Amino acid sequence: MPTKIRIDRFLAYNRSRIIKAVKFKEEKATLLFKVVPFLLHINLPGLPGFIDAPCPCGIMRYNPFQPLSLEQFRSYFSFPLALAIDADLSSPSPCYIHSLKTIGSIGTIAQTEKSDCDYWLSVRFADFPENGLKLLSQKCKIIEEWAMGVGHELHFFLMDIDQTRDNSFESRADDESAGSAIKLLLKDELFRSHILVAGKMPLWWLTPPGMSESEYRNFVAELPAKEKINMDSFIDLGYISNLPKAEIFGACLWQMNKALDSPFKSVIKFAYLELLMNDQQTLNLFSDRIKQLVTFPEELSPENRLPIDDIDPYLLLAKELVAFYQKEDTDKRRDEFIRGCLFMKTLEDINSLKKTSDSSSRLKKITALMQHWDLLPSDVDHYLNYPSWSHQDRVQAGAMVHSYLGDTYKRLNWYLSSFSKDPDRAVTITEEDIAILGRKLSSFYEKKPNKIDYIQSLSREMMFQPTIVLHLAKIEGQNNFFAFQGDNDTVIKNPKQFLIKRETNLIRLLTWLMANGILTNKTGLIMAVNAPELNLQNIQLLVTTMLDSFPLVQFSHISTSQLLAQEVILRALAVINFDQSPVRGAKIIKTSIITTNSYGEYFFHEYDTLDQYKSALRILLTKHEVSRWHHNLTVFIPSQPEQHALQALLNQ
């Protein structure tokens, strides 16, 4: 097949992926494929990403006039700014960004409302002037923050072309990077999932699958003369001939960490890792299979070829995984589990899917597509009815996901134990990255005194309850507080089905509900009729204060520096005399302090006297710099008859 046809096939495939992203959500696609490259290309005052210094930027082979219309520009930026830029827009010279690509689920069946977008910026570090790389990184950070402000999560990764080509790129495990844990696996994911947004096309698409490293080098060297192509139009990111199993241990740790926020995606990737481990010493790359379908279809038999529009990296990988687990010689077949996780991953935003005709249409399309590929779980209606699942059903499903991850991790760890005995095949993850990733796992799974435990859930967003019924009952002379799923007090008659949690302390119960994403600012609270002791107004005020004080922890966003440093309390909420007990002459005045730390953990402490409470505040101030003066301590005192007397005692 002539090289020109291969190029045309790649461009058609790339266009097909972009069209799928546009059909999913046009507004987001406009930002991802038009606005973002525009902002990376220029550096002008008034635009997000402006750096008040000579900032190296600009994307090669990119025309800023072509993709972004003035009307689209005005939808994001002010009219006067649009006119000014339209009148005075010139491309930077030189341009430093050789190629801009997305990596991940954008433009596939796995894209959801909550999908973030990772951009791979291919640059050559050696070309940057002093501090130039730092300035471009700052520009990217500003664009990320602006995009988050308009409702879109983006991440930019500046990757050196030469390091990428030589498979030697290094990055410590930060907020989003996998650090040393994943190198070739990340490159494999780039090749099999990327969309070219702007700049040069990866040369990889024109190199035959299955080559050795030396064969690849020779092919690339002969390509310009043999095919008469302009190599300046392409970017050489190198080749991957195989995926060494020694890298998989680090990848397992990384995916366990990603599962804390996005478990369905991690299940699919974990299954891929197990597929790699169960094959021979090395495995034919999945990225090569995508390349065969797109630019080397002649290598496939006619029945294995696909129309360009039907090539979906995520669907093809899922098909491979289901087939792998169908071959399991055990009673515990996992292919149905993988089907269920894939379906739930495509419908992670299921609560919003039924609100519009577009959502309903997409749901039907996804279902039909997965049925065509034999990927639908057997009980589709059960998954579609997720918003009506009981809390216990959600917990059970989450436990299955985490159990699968844990069991698979143990199996892979056993396979990899042999590598530690062979220095030539040692695992590639560094001790520092093991410490970073291990700390996140510990923060989520480890039990500690006074710690608020996390549910091993599907995801905390999926644990949300629109209404919660609160109930109080005395058991053996002690108050017990109950949270039930439902919208009326009849649910308290059926605790086995509707009970979410029981605690002897109401504030601890509310903290647990909040930390696990069950209680949010969209949750309505209802008091059981026979619980007059509970003051709904005070509870609602407290919940509002709690939610304002503690944003939901995103483990993937905890920085490397925080995880490598000693634990520090970041913020605290003190609740004083919530039950409004008498104050004058009282020996016991109950207080509670809720804290969250730099590892993403919540803690709850109770005190019986104000002296104990004040001592705790002193420790927060001196050891962690948590106080009202530091704007990271909130004090909540419900309105009560002896308010002034209580305040006087606190001021002593």
DSSP structure string for 340-372: HHHHHHHTTTHHHHTSSHHHHHHHHHHHHHHHH
In whole angstroms, give the CA distance from residue 486 to residue 492.
Answer: 9
- Is 128 a domain residue? yes
Contact 3, 229 (CB under 8 A): yes
- CA–CA dist 135, 515 (Å, integer): 37
**Within a domain: residue 75?**
yes
**Total number of domains in the chain:** 2
What is the average pLDDT score of the chain?
85
Q: What is the distance between the terminal CA atoms of the chain, rounded to a whole angstrom?
A: 86
- Averaged pLDDT for residues 424-432: 59
Q: What is the pLDDT of residues 521-535, one digit of tens each?
A: 999 999 987 777 788
**Which residue would you say has higher pLDDT here, 355 or 364?**
364
Q: Which two tokens stand for residue 549?
A: 């004080």
d(C-alpha 188, C-alpha 313), whole Å: 12
Question: What does the pLDDT look like over 74-128, one tens digit per residue?
Answer: 777 765 555 555 545 667 789 999 999 999 889 998 888 878 899 999 999 999 9
Task: Indicate the SS3 state at residue 635.
Answer: strand
| 565 within a domain of the structure (yes/no) | yes
Residue 426 included in any domain = no
Instruction: Say how far apart CA 253 and CA 440 lie, in whole Å.
Output: 10
Within-domain flag for 263: no
The CA distances from residue 398 to 43, 52, 337, 458, 459, in Å, are 46, 48, 12, 4, 8
Q: What digits encode the pLDDT tens for the residues 283-304? A: 568 899 999 999 999 999 999 9
- Residue 201, SS3? strand
- HEC string of 582-621? CCCCCCCCCEEEEEEECCCCEEEEEECCHHHHHHHHHHHH
Q: Does residue 414 register a pLDDT over 70?
A: no
User: CA-CA distances (angstroms) from residue 209 to 13, 191, 215, 239, 546?
Assistant: 17, 12, 11, 10, 55
485: in domain: no
Q: Taking a C-beta distance cutoff of 8 angstroms, is the pair 107, 28 a contact?
A: no
- Show which of 217, 242, 267 is a domain's final residue: 242
* Per-residue pLDDT tens digits for 143-159: 999 999 989 999 999 99
Give the structural domain span for 161: 1-242
For residues 10 and 567, the model is more confident at 10
* Least confident range of 256-265, 603-612, 617-626: 256-265
User: Domain boundary at 242, 272, 301, which?
Assistant: 242
Residue 383 in tokens: 């998954």
**Confidence at residue 226, expressed as pLDDT on a 0 to 100 scale:** 86
Higher pLDDT, 356 or 15: 15
DSSP 551-583: PPP-GGGS-HHHHHSPP-EEEEEEEE-TT----
- Confidence check: pLDDT of 484 > 90: yes
The answer to whether position 404 is within a domain reads no
Using omega within 30 degrees of 0 as the cis cutoff, is the peptide bond preceding 423 cis? Answer: no
HSE on the CB side for 27, CA within 13 Å? 7
Per-residue pLDDT, 93: 80
Rounded distance between C-alpha atoms, residue 31 and residue 510, angstroms: 38
Q: Compute the Cα dihedral for 273, 277, 278, 281 and give only its sign.
A: positive
Query: What crossing angle do the helices spanning 263-278 and 313-326 adopt, rounded to 10°?
Result: 60
Residue 495 lies in a domain: no
Structure tokens at 488: 């009326």
- CA separation for the pair 457, 206 (Å, rounded): 43
Q: At what angle do helices 506-515 and 536-549 cross, to 10 degrees?
A: 40
Give residue-wise pLDDT tens across range 189-247: 899 999 999 999 999 999 999 888 889 999 999 998 888 888 999 999 998 877 766 66
Nearest to 269 by CA among 182, 383, 204, 366: 182
Residue that has been written with the tokens 């507080």 in this structure: 481
- Pick from 242, 263, 278: which residue ends a domain? 242
- pTM for the complete prediction? 0.81
Q: List, in sequence order, every residue forming a beta bridge with 480; answer none if it has no partner.
A: 473
